[in-house]
């Protein structure tokens, strides 16, 4: 059931199979592996195991960068399940996945992600304590993620327009899922003029009706005139083929890995578009999960108000990056990449040094070992 591939101190991949339950999962970690990896559980019908492996690695790397950007004591983690989410969910699947997570002895902490619901997390939490986003914790992280995007958007508006006021600003939300829905509520309350698109037209129309928004054809979304483009669906959204079609002044959203390649962030800057890196804008959910994890370890009680206060401070974080980029006359993406990469490498170096000094290794499942 449990296998692992060889890994260096900076990354690990654990693969889990159980034919009886239908479990076909991989848990990826990236960063300073003497810290627990925190990241969501995603279920998608990947075409192959190789595609699922690649997505897990890519997402764990993104989570590592997010934790580094916020200076949180975690490495990046992600679980990917291969299968049709409408067919594979069962008590047996959650039991097998709980056993898989438990085999890592707290090295990985899971949470909600694509095609995982609060009820799924609640069921899984009965099989493993190494999970956050539970009903008695932060619950669905979408409102926290949306709040982080909202605060990052306010900081971007101040940088671009000289004001945080979003009233009458034309905002296009790509993705009518739980984060897009929560963000639409916040923006509607601010008086923004909303457009919505989603590959599921029913979701788009339902959200548009609730918040007096216009529905946009997903195929034309990225080229639709707007002031603020907010990607909240699956990435990558900005590619070499689409980057010149964007008309927005600001891009800030919840989707992970929005850029197909980092250089596109510089291209956006050259076109006069303010781009907030996704690992900054969408970090509210990570802050909520980290708050619940601390509570589960008995360090502090989970306090939603305290978590929201931390998320509100993302305004200052994003504003600081934008101001520094302006002062240095550099693309925002380069300033953020340099800072986050340096912090991530410092953490990895410290992890490697600790591993070299330690003669003890903690087993992570029957086939893998992880240095403390």
Q: Domain of 124: which CATH number? A: 3.40.50.10860
Identify whether residues 225 and 84 lie together within a single domain: no
pLDDT of residue 365: 40
Whether 78 is a known active-site residue: answer yes
Identify whether residues 278 and 218 lie together within a single domain: yes
Identify whether residues 210 and 194 lie together within a single domain: yes
Range of the structural domain that residue 257 is part of: 142-282+315-330
H or E element in which residue 208 lies: helix 201-210
Identify whether residues 179 and 106 lie together within a single domain: no
Identify whether residues 256 and 345 lie together within a single domain: no
Identify whether residues 161 and 87 lie together within a single domain: no
Q: Note whether residue 336 is domain-resident.
A: no
Q: Note whether residue 277 is domain-resident.
A: yes
pLDDT of residue 133: 94
pLDDT of residue 360: 44
What is the total count of domains within the chain? 2
Q: Note whether residue 72 is domain-resident.
A: no
CATH number of the domain residue 169 falls in: 3.40.50.720
pLDDT of residue 32: 80
H or E element in which residue 12 lies: strand 11-18
pLDDT of residue 356: 67
Q: Note whether residue 130 is domain-resident.
A: yes
Identify whether residues 154 and 254 lie together within a single domain: yes
> 345: burial class by Cβ within 10 Å (0-12, 13-18, 19+)?
middle
Catalytic-labelled residue, pool 66, 78, 95, 154: 78
Identify whether residues 83 and 206 lie together within a single domain: no
Q: Note whether residue 32 is domain-resident.
A: yes
Q: Note whether residue 114 is domain-resident.
A: yes
Q: Note whether residue 298 is domain-resident.
A: no
The answer to whether the bond into 238 is cis (omega within 30° of 0) is no
pLDDT of residue 38: 95
CA distance readout (Å), 219 to 30, 114, 171, 212: 34, 21, 17, 21
Alpha carbon distance 214, 7 (integer Å) = 48
Q: What is the CA radius of gyration of the chain?
A: 20
Q: How far is CA 364 from the centre of its chain?
A: 25
Identify whether residues 112 and 211 lie together within a single domain: no
pLDDT of residue 256: 87
Q: Note whether residue 99 is domain-resident.
A: yes
Identify whether residues 230 and 205 lie together within a single domain: yes
Identify whether residues 93 and 152 lie together within a single domain: no
Identify whether residues 193 and 59 lie together within a single domain: no
Angle between helices 304-312 and 142-161 (to 10 degrees): 20
> Could you state, in chain order, the average pLDDT of each consecutive group of 10 residues for the chain (372 residues)?
50 93 96 89 97 94 90 94 97 97 95 94 96 93 96 98 98 96 98 97 96 95 96 90 96 93 94 94 94 82 90 95 94 91 84 64 36 28
pLDDT of residue 253: 97
CA distance readout (Å), 135 to 19, 119, 157, 297, 349: 30, 8, 34, 17, 37
CA distance readout (Å), 76 to 104, 110, 152, 315, 348: 15, 11, 22, 23, 12
Alpha carbon distance 78, 111 (integer Å) = 9
């Amino acid at each position: 059931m449990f296998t692992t591939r060889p890994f260096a101190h900076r990354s690990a991949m654990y693969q889990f199979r159980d034919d009886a339950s239908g479990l076909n999962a991989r848990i990826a970690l990236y960063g300073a592996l003497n810290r627990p990896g925190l990241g969501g559980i995603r279920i998608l019908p990947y075409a192959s195991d190789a595609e699922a492996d690649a997505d897990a690695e890519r997402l764990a790397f993104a989570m590592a960068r997010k934790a580094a950007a916020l200076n949180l004591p975690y490495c990046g983690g992600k679980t990917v399940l291969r299968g049709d989410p409408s067919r594979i969910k069962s008590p047996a699947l959650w039991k097998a996945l709980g056993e898989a997570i438990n085999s890592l002895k707290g090295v990985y902490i899971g949470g909600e992600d694509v095609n995982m619901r609060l009820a799924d997390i609640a069921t899984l939490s009965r099989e493993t304590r190494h999970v956050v986003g539970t009903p008695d914790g932060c619950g669905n992280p979408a409102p926290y993620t949306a709040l982080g995007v909202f605060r990052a958007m306010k900081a971007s508006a101040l940088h671009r327009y000289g004001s945080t006021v979003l009233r009458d600003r034309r905002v296009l939300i790509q993705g009518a899922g739980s984060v897009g829905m929560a963000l639409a509520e916040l923006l509607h309350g601010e008086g923004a003029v909303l457009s919505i698109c989603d590959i599921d037209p029913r979701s788009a129309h339902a959200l548009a009706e609730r918040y007096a928004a216009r529905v946009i054809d997903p195929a034309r979304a990225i080229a639709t005139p707007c002031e603020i483009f907010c990607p909240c669906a699956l990435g990558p959204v900005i590619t070499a083929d689409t980057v010149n079609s964007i008309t927005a002044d600001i891009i800030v959203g919840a989707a992970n890995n929005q850029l197909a390649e980092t250089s596109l962030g510089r291209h956006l800057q050259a076109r006069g578009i303010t781009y907030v890196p996704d690992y900054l804008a969408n970090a509210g959910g990570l802050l909520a999960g980290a708050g619940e994890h601390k509570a589960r370890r008995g360090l502090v009680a989970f306090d939603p108000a305290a978590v929201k206060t931390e998320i509100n401070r993302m305004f200052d974080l994003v504003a600081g990056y934008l101001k520094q980029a302006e002062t240095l006359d550099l693309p925002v993406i380069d300033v953020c990449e340099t800072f986050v990469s340096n912090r991530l490498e410092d953490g990895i170096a410290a992890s490697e040094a600790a591993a070299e000094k330690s003669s003890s290794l903690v087993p992570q499942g029957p086939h893998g070992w992880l240095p403390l």
